[in-house]
Amino acid sequence: MGIVAGIGVMVPFPFYYWLWRRPQEWVSLCGRGRDPSKVMALVSHCLKLIQILSLFSVSSLSWPPPLYFWPLFLFGQFLNFRVYQLLGESGTYYGVRFGKNIPWVTEFPFGYIKDPQYVGSIMSLVACLAWVPFQYIALWVLGYVFMMHLESMEDPATRAKPIS
């Protein structure tokens, strides 16, 4: 079960890599009249479910959680909520890469925390260390670190052009 869980944790990252490197292919695949960010969000939710089920398959839940769980998990989720609140679906799901104009945001957590959506997700994962073996959390975190590195090298010339 361990190898399957490891693969399940890593499932979304090749998809995100492909979307980041070849956004025009995704826009074309989605077709005219379909919002590529919306479709990406739907696919991402399915992939996130696979990741979470993979963690549950190797976890050993117990109650009560350790004291560090609540602040890490709640602040991590707050960061994720705040990013979505400020950027919306298009800003959160690669809208800029798909040729959309997303307004520049400087409100907290932007300007204070680099890559707040990934930091929030990593905090929430670390909060679960009492239940999930370290190697699965580390694998997922490495996926996020890889994506942070990939997204830091954005080339505006490679952005998709909307289908007209």
Q: What is the pLDDT of residue 164?
A: 63
Phi, psi of 3 (to 5 degrees): -70, -40
CA distance 2 to 135: 10
What is the amino acid identity at position 58?
V
The predicted pLDDT at position 95 comes to 83
Query: What is the spatial distance between Cα 12 and Cα 137, in angstroms, rounded to a whole number?
Result: 15
Alpha-carbon distance of 112 to 138, in angstroms, equals 25
Alpha-carbon distances, residue 142 vs 38, 59, 85 (angstroms): 26, 19, 26
Residues 1, 6: Cα–Cα separation, whole Å:
9
The rounded distance, in Å, linking the Cα atoms of 68 and 77 is 14
State how far the Cα of 144 lies from the Cα of 58, in Å rounded to an integer: 20
Q: Which two tokens stand for residue 101?
A: 């104009």
Query: With contact defined as beta carbons under 8 Å apart, do 12 and 44 qualify?
Result: yes
Place of tokens 């696979």: 50
The residue count of the chain comes to 164
CA 129, 132, 133, 138 dihedral sign is: negative
- Give the pTM: 0.91
Per-residue pLDDT of the chain (164 residues; tens, 9 = 90+): 789 999 999 999 999 999 999 999 999 999 888 999 999 999 999 999 999 999 999 999 899 999 999 999 999 999 999 999 988 888 888 888 888 888 888 888 988 889 999 999 999 999 999 999 999 999 999 999 999 999 998 888 888 887 76
